[in-house]
Structure 1
């Protein structure tokens, strides 16, 4: 997709006319995002490379299915392709409010917990969607993916001081991941993608990374990022998901997920956002300390009171 002016973009999208586009720059996605108007409403316009069209259509179908399950997410208004300019696009409803990263600091501890609990309920509803997938095949994929990540990690100029211990922990316990269940996962579920309006949870956005994965993988970004913003909110998500009955197995599986995520995160930041390496190292150190070098399965943040 070549660089297009806003006028050119509008001219290629039949649903839009006589509108202005306000570009959204926050976030790490590579597609283009704009807030604009459609039928008198604020909407979100996203542009993707045309070769992602099939994946985008799957995302649209799943979002529509999630809405039927009661998940508070965006309505899908339009999907289209513009082959001559090598892009496809979606138009979603715009969830009014602030993302959790901005909003949580202005909520009381009780409000943070309540918002998290409602988000956990939505996540649980998302996982009710029926899918057909093989856990055996998925575990083979997970193991191959991790070994490729280790190989990439071994070539990084900057590495985690205790990286070898993390890798050994994953290899010794990765089989536990297969004790979860396969779902169609959001795959980027954290405060930055959860909207707060009038001090309450309003819905989940950004399904750009969605796909089949294990249910408990959904909490990866929550731990890596959100638990440092708000312990109460993060606890609320977990308790809402499990209706206040969190199984012990969840924590055993979670510790393996978090260990492998540290390797993935270091690779990803190095390859795509090297300027953010200091923040990535801080996040990795935080997880290492919360799990006491993976000598514990329940992270310390979950057992702490909100500061």
Structure 2
């Protein structure tokens, strides 16, 4: 399929990716998602394309990889077009039970994605993530804006980073949260935007659950329970709090170039995180609803 033969090409402005994104229509009337990246991203996008094919082979409901190559504008990546709505726009219109059920499904899908192994040459997680921690702590210390009680994040990280030793690794979506999910017109959850995909500790993948919990504690609780089949180990909560602390530290330096609105968003989010975790004294967040009894069958198979 030639990317120059499409009948229509409508740019999509939404999202944080540096890719240019378009909804394109083929001569047969079928829609696709076209992503254009700079040529220096070729190997990274090739990796994304190949790994998405691995995820597709698992039967994960997702934007499917169709074609990858170079073009006049750089690197192109053609994906299937999902007819539906952004999940974060629909979520709060659902009942608490429906939110929880979709959360279970999202957790089960993520567990399936994490069955893809890492290469034998992959660096040990303890070494890699400790290096990342040091960089993020330094970024925060150098940042002119500080969180109220932000030292609690640093203290928690330093007290619990020993848990990084011997952590397993797997393939990661890289940005798994409600902002990268859709609901198709059959009501089925679909996973999109794999452009931050990577390898790492599968539990670290939950570091974006903050965005889910802010919108729907029921969805976030279901996601954790679905992933662990309602048997959540305490070590998960302790490590997740470390990963969220690390992310939160780097969020404020990240936000500064985007202006006051993003700075305020991250300051408010950090405040909420500290409330959830009682200033990092309790690793189980207050948004977690525990196991919710259901008298119906649900979930991703």
Same topology, TM > 0.5: yes
Once residues 213 and 194 of structure 1 are traced to their aligned partners in structure 2, the CA distance between those partners, rounded to angstroms, is: 21
**Match 2:86 to one of 91, 99, 118:** 99
Once residues 269 and 90 of structure 2 are traced to their aligned partners in structure 1, the CA distance between those partners, rounded to angstroms, is: 20
Q: Which runs of 5+ in 2 are unaligned?
A: 293-301
Once residues 292 and 26 of structure 1 are traced to their aligned partners in structure 2, the CA distance between those partners, rounded to angstroms, is: 34
Once residues 96 and 78 of structure 1 are traced to their aligned partners in structure 2, the CA distance between those partners, rounded to angstroms, is: 19
Deviation for aligned residue 1:201: 3.6
- What's the RMSD between the two structures over aligned residues? 2.1
**Match 1:187 to one of 174, 192, 211:** 174
Deviation for aligned residue 1:165: 2.3
2:5 paired residue number: 17
1:58 paired residue number: 47
Once residues 97 and 243 of structure 1 are traced to their aligned partners in structure 2, the CA distance between those partners, rounded to angstroms, is: 28
Deviation for aligned residue 1:239: 1.3
| CA displacement, residues 32-53 of structure 1 (integer Å, 9 cap, x when unaligned) | 1111113432111101111111
1:123 paired residue number: 110
Length-normalised TM-score, structure 2: 0.90
Alignment of 1:1-307 (within 5 A): 14-38=2-26, 39-82=28-71, 85=73, 87-133=74-120, 137-178=124-165, 180-198=167-185, 200-222=187-209, 224-272=210-258, 275-303=261-289
| CA displacement, residues 11-36 of structure 1 (integer Å, 9 cap, x when unaligned) | xx933424222221112111111111
Contact 2:183 2:189 (8 Å CA) reproduced: yes
**Higher mean C-alpha displacement, 121-130 vs 34-43:** 34-43
Once residues 168 and 271 of structure 1 are traced to their aligned partners in structure 2, the CA distance between those partners, rounded to angstroms, is: 27
| CA displacement, residues 243-277 of structure 1 (integer Å, 9 cap, x when unaligned) | 22212211111111111111121222124555411
Length-normalised TM-score, structure 1: 0.88
| CA displacement, residues 132-189 of structure 1 (integer Å, 9 cap, x when unaligned) | 2567633212111221222222221211122222112112211213354211101110
The alpha-carbon distance between structure 1 residues 134 and 232, as it changes in their structure 2 partners (threshold 3 A), is farther
Equivalent position SS for 2:155: helix
Once residues 271 and 138 of structure 1 are traced to their aligned partners in structure 2, the CA distance between those partners, rounded to angstroms, is: 30
| CA displacement, residues 94-113 of structure 1 (integer Å, 9 cap, x when unaligned) | 12211221010121112111
Once residues 68 and 258 of structure 1 are traced to their aligned partners in structure 2, the CA distance between those partners, rounded to angstroms, is: 31
Once residues 207 and 32 of structure 2 are traced to their aligned partners in structure 1, the CA distance between those partners, rounded to angstroms, is: 29
Contact 1:119 1:201 (8 Å CA) reproduced: no
The alpha-carbon distance between structure 1 residues 286 and 135, as it changes in their structure 2 partners (threshold 3 A), is farther
The alpha-carbon distance between structure 1 residues 136 and 42, as it changes in their structure 2 partners (threshold 3 A), is closer
Deviation for aligned residue 1:295: 0.5
Q: Which runs of 5+ in 1 are unaligned?
A: 1-12
The alpha-carbon distance between structure 1 residues 200 and 237, as it changes in their structure 2 partners (threshold 3 A), is farther
Deviation for aligned residue 1:124: 0.7
Once residues 174 and 18 of structure 1 are traced to their aligned partners in structure 2, the CA distance between those partners, rounded to angstroms, is: 51
**Higher mean C-alpha displacement, 54-63 vs 177-186:** 177-186
Contact 1:239 1:246 (8 Å CA) reproduced: yes
The alpha-carbon distance between structure 1 residues 55 and 77, as it changes in their structure 2 partners (threshold 3 A), is same
